[in-house]
Every structure is written in structure tokens, then in C-alpha cells.
Amino acid sequence: MLDRSPPRVALLGFSIECNKFAPPATKAHFLARTYLEGDAIVAEARLPTPTMLPETPGFVAAMDASGAWIPVGIALAMAEPNGPVEHAFFVELRDTISCRLRAALPVDAVYICSHGAGLTTEEDDPDGALFEMVREIVSAGVPIAGTLDLHANVSERMVESLDVFIGYRTNPHLDMRERGAEAAAAIREMLGGVKPQRALIRLPIVPPTVTLLTAAGPYAEMIDLGQRRMNPKIMNVSAMGGFAFADAPECGLSVVVTARHDKRAAEALAREIAELGWANRARFYPRLTSLDEAVAKALAVGRDRSLPALAFADVADNPGGGGRGNTVFLLRAFHEAGVEGALLGVFYDPDLAAEAHQRGVGAHFEARFNRCETTAFSEPYTASATVEALTGGNCVGRQGIYAGMRLELGPCAALQVGGVTVVVISHRVQCADPIFFEMMGLDIRRARSVVVKSRGHFRGGFDEFFGPEQIVEVDLPGLTSPMLNRFEWKRLPRPVIPLDDNVEWRPAWPLTPHRGR
């Protein structure tokens, strides 16, 4: 007899990208972005401008549209990329998920929204630990679909614990909502009887993040190959770039293929894509512009309005990779060289924003950047400034990865420092959306240079202003520098490209994910 009661689907998540070299993330960081339990998850996901990233809203909308279901919200914690999560908070979250999930049993399926490059102060694979715990609680027969950021460092237990592994396919990440919807479709299929099989291959390549764009390049070719090879046997192909700064044993470019039934089909396709990645290995080295050259370019476009405007990406101080968003190298160099018509954002300095609010619009003062030094890269800098504009920092993302998301940047100030207008914020976030300038009344179209503290997601937010040929990636010191040889690695697999010579790889067989016992 058919059981016609609507399926009960548990929703949970833990989503943060962690940089081993950055200061720890605390519970407060999650509370400031997204921390929800129970029914509040689905209620927030159904809002027009939720605070969470769009996978869960996409999942919920697709489940709503595809038939009856009973959502069972468990717990969802998300934060801006940061350092490793304080282990006590992760334990608290894990226990909350465990208690709530056990209390919700029986469930018919589980959706997990995860980043996949999390760390705690004691654990290098908290995402895998969480997936494994969820699998143990719901038992083997219950379908689990997971969505992951393409910067995930994929562990064997992640792949083993999920039934369907769904990674983002675009960088900038503009397909989060679609991947959530894909997870919903996969769950519907599995509720209909499909029992997927997965294959994982990891390469000894830890690509600098600037080499992981998906419009073109070595990584884009892997993703494209996977999509070209989609066929009725294959449920999902995820080429995962990994996140070097996690400095974890699972770091590296990897391929996860989920087949509907046929494990050999998954293995063969994973191998084909991994072999392409390996063939492309010489192209996973960054090519950046020196600071002197960047200054010269900014001076030139400032003087000659017939030249196309330029975007300068401070890729080494990307809050989207755990950077503090407060290094002054570009600000100081542009200001002291006399660059004109520049915007710079968004600079994380709550003390300076508070002082600007206290002084008011129009005030002239000595702006002291980084009066509290947060890392060795966050050098103090003092310059004469004028307060141009002030806001409370509440906004809704307009374009790119934050589009449609409710964001709180805290008290914000636009400070004119010579020819550079700096947007100072109080809650750290990467400069991926033009709204961060526009809410201050600044006109991006009039700027000659726009400095963004972002590695690559600004490309999705600022594409109406800057084509790829107008983007300059600047080589500077910082917590997210693509020059990986400048870091002291402790846990990365070695030897590995791009750090070592004579790296070899041959696909290991069998490819069946196994526990590292």
C-alpha cells in the first residue's frame, strides 16, 4: 500500500569558509548573520529578502512548487568567512542539531546546506563531522542531499555521508538558489526510489582562488566538461576548487560525481574530469599586477577621462576569504601618489565609522585607520579626511552574490581622503555589491578607479560597470594573498601544486569513498 502522507524533510546547515590564518569566528558572528532554529528557518527562507544565502530559500521554493511536504526546521548557522570557529560553539550547534533531529524522527529526507571549507579551533573537517552525525541519526535508508560551496575542501566522510553531493558551479557564486532547487529535485527523486552512488577524486592541486573563475580558464573547463557529460545516468557533477587557506589535509581540487544507480559511471566521469584538471595544472598559478603598476594605471585613468575606468581588486584582503577588510596598502599608495576620482570600499573599521558619525557630515579631521590593529597586515594609517556621507548600513543586496539578501553593515561613513573616497563599515563584509557605494550616495559611473576589497565576487556585482579587461588584480600582502608560497602551511597535503616541484598524480583505484580509519 502506498504511503500518501507528505514527506517530512529536515533542513539544517552550517556554512562558513574558514581561513586558518585569521582570528577565530565566534557565536556572535553567526548571530550577526544567520542563526535560526526550528520553524524560523523555513519562515525566513520564504521571505522576499532573507538574511541567509540563497540555497535554502531555493530549496524551500522548489519543494513548495513540486508537491506537498512537511518542512522540519532543525538549525541553520551561517557567517561571513572568517578564522576557525570557536570549537565550543560548533559543539553547541552540533548538539542542538542532534537533539532537534532526534526529536523530529522519523523524517523521510534531510537537506543540509553547508559550505564545506569550515574549520573549528580543534577540527579540520567540521562539515564532514556534521554530515556523519546526521547520517548516524537518520540511518542508512533516509536520503540526504547536501549543497556545498565550490570552495569546499571535500573529505571522504562528506561524500560517504550524503546521497547526493551538489556543489556550486559558478564563481562568482550566482547559482546558489538553483543548487538549492536541484537538491529539492534530487530529494523528490530519491523519495521515488532512486539510490544514488558517488565517486570522489582529489588532485594534488591547491589552486589560488583567483585561478578558480568559471567564465574562462582551467577550472571553468573542468566544470564545462562535467556539464557536457551530463546524461540520464548522472545526477550531478561537482568540480570543487577547494579553499587553500583552510590549511587542511582535505584541501585541493576535487571532483564528485553522483550517479543515479551506476557507480562505475560516476567513477569514470570523475576520472575524466580529474584528468582534465591535471592536464591543466600549469595554469593554476596566479598572475597579479604589482602595486607600482596599479598606481600608475590609477593615475593615468584619473587624468585622462577618455580611458576606460578600472576596478582594482585587493585580492589579498578579501573578507570573503577571511581577510579583515582593513589593510591600507592601496589606500595609502593611491592617496600619496595623488590618484584622482577613486572610490575604495569597503573598509572595515568600526572605531573610525563611529568617530565619523560623532563628528557629522562635512567635518574635517585626521582619520586614524586601524587604531586597533587586528592582524599584522592591518597597519595603522592617518590621513586628513572629510566626512562626505553617513548611513546606518542596513541595505538589501542589489546585484551579484548578495542580491536580494538583507544585510547590516552597521554604522557606515564615506570619507574623502584626497582623491580617494573611502567607504568605512562596522560589520565586516566583502565588497561584492555596488549597493555598498550607492547607499552612501556615491556614483560608481563617475569614478575613474574603484578599489574593491574582494577576490572575485565583485565581478558578479560590478559587471555593469567593469568588463573583465577593466579589472586589475593587485599583488599586496594580506591574509588572502593568492601567492601561496608566502604562508607557513602546516596541514596541507604535500607535495602539491603550486607550492612544490615534481608533483605527481595517478588516479587511485578503487575510487569508492572510504572512512579514513
Looking at beta carbons only, is 147 or 326 nearer to Zn ion?
147
How far apart are alpha carbons 188 and 447 in whole angstroms? Answer: 49
Residues touching Zn ion: how many (CB under 5 A)? 2
**Residues 106-125 as x/- pattern, contact with Zn ion by CB under 5 A:** --------------------
How far apart are alpha carbons 425 and 407 in whole angstroms? Answer: 12
Looking at beta carbons only, is 245 or 369 nearer to Zn ion?
245
Beta carbon of residue 337, minimum distance to Zn ion (angstroms, whole number):
33
* 127 counts as binding Zn ion under rule CB under 5 A: no
Figure out which of the listed residues 29, 151, 448, 455 binds Zn ion, where binding follows CB under 5 A.
151
Looking at beta carbons only, is 149 or 221 nearer to Zn ion?
149
Residue recorded with cell 529578502: 49
Beta carbon of residue 116, minimum distance to Zn ion (angstroms, whole number):
9
How far apart are alpha carbons 163 and 110 in whole angstroms? Answer: 10
Closest among 516, 13, 515, 513 to 256, alpha carbons compared = 513
Beta carbon of residue 427, minimum distance to Zn ion (angstroms, whole number):
19
How far apart are alpha carbons 514 and 250 in whole angstroms? Answer: 14
How far apart are alpha carbons 166 and 113 in whole angstroms? Answer: 10
Beta carbon of residue 506, minimum distance to Zn ion (angstroms, whole number):
29
* Region from 63-71, 141-149, 270-278, 414-422 binding Zn ion, contact rule CB under 5 A: 141-149
Beta carbon of residue 480, minimum distance to Zn ion (angstroms, whole number):
12
Looking at beta carbons only, is 172 or 418 nearer to Zn ion?
172
Residues 284-303 that bind Zn ion (CB under 5 A): none
Looking at beta carbons only, is 85 or 310 nearer to Zn ion?
85
DSSP symbols for 269-316: HHHHHHHHHHHTGGG-S---B-HHHHHHHHHHHHH-TTSPPEEEE-GG
Beta carbon of residue 149, minimum distance to Zn ion (angstroms, whole number):
4
Cell matching residue 505: 598524480
* DSSP strands (E only) in 339-478: 342-348, 364-369, 381-391, 394-396, 406-408, 412-417, 420-425, 449-452, 471-473
How far apart are alpha carbons 18 and 30 in whole angstroms? Answer: 13
Beta carbon of residue 230, minimum distance to Zn ion (angstroms, whole number):
22
* Region from 143-151, 223-231, 288-296, 502-510 binding Zn ion, contact rule CB under 5 A: 143-151
Looking at beta carbons only, is 151 or 428 nearer to Zn ion?
151
Helices (H), 51-86: 55-65
Q: What is the CA radius of gyration of the chain?
A: 23
How far apart are alpha carbons 15 and 147 in whole angstroms? Answer: 10
Beta carbon of residue 150, minimum distance to Zn ion (angstroms, whole number):
6
Looking at beta carbons only, is 370 or 399 nearer to Zn ion?
399
Figure out which of the listed residues 80, 125, 149, 267 binds Zn ion, where binding follows CB under 5 A.
149
Report the alpha-carbon angle 241-242-248, nearest 5: 160
What is the DSSP secondary structure assignment for residue 84, as one 8-state letter? P
How far apart are alpha carbons 39 and 380 in whole angstroms? Answer: 45
Question: Strands 471-473 and 310-313, how do they pair?
Answer: parallel
On the CB side of 306, CA atoms within 13 Å amount to: 0
* Region from 132-140, 148-156, 256-264, 402-410 binding Zn ion, contact rule CB under 5 A: 148-156
Beta carbon of residue 449, minimum distance to Zn ion (angstroms, whole number):
26
* Region from 73-81, 124-132, 144-152, 351-359 binding Zn ion, contact rule CB under 5 A: 144-152
Residues 68-87 that bind Zn ion (CB under 5 A): none
Beta carbon of residue 173, minimum distance to Zn ion (angstroms, whole number):
6
Looking at beta carbons only, is 345 or 456 nearer to Zn ion?
456
Beta carbon of residue 401, minimum distance to Zn ion (angstroms, whole number):
9
Looking at beta carbons only, is 250 or 355 nearer to Zn ion?
250
Residue in the shown chain whose Cβ atom is closest to Zn ion: 151
* Region from 150-158, 215-223, 261-269, 379-387 binding Zn ion, contact rule CB under 5 A: 150-158
Looking at beta carbons only, is 21 or 69 nearer to Zn ion?
21
How far apart are alpha carbons 466 and 167 in whole angstroms? Answer: 27
Looking at beta carbons only, is 86 or 149 nearer to Zn ion?
149
Residue recorded with cell 590549511: 247
Q: How far is CA 215 from CA 140, 256, 289, in A?
A: 38, 20, 20
Chain residues binding Zn ion by CB under 5 A are 149, 151
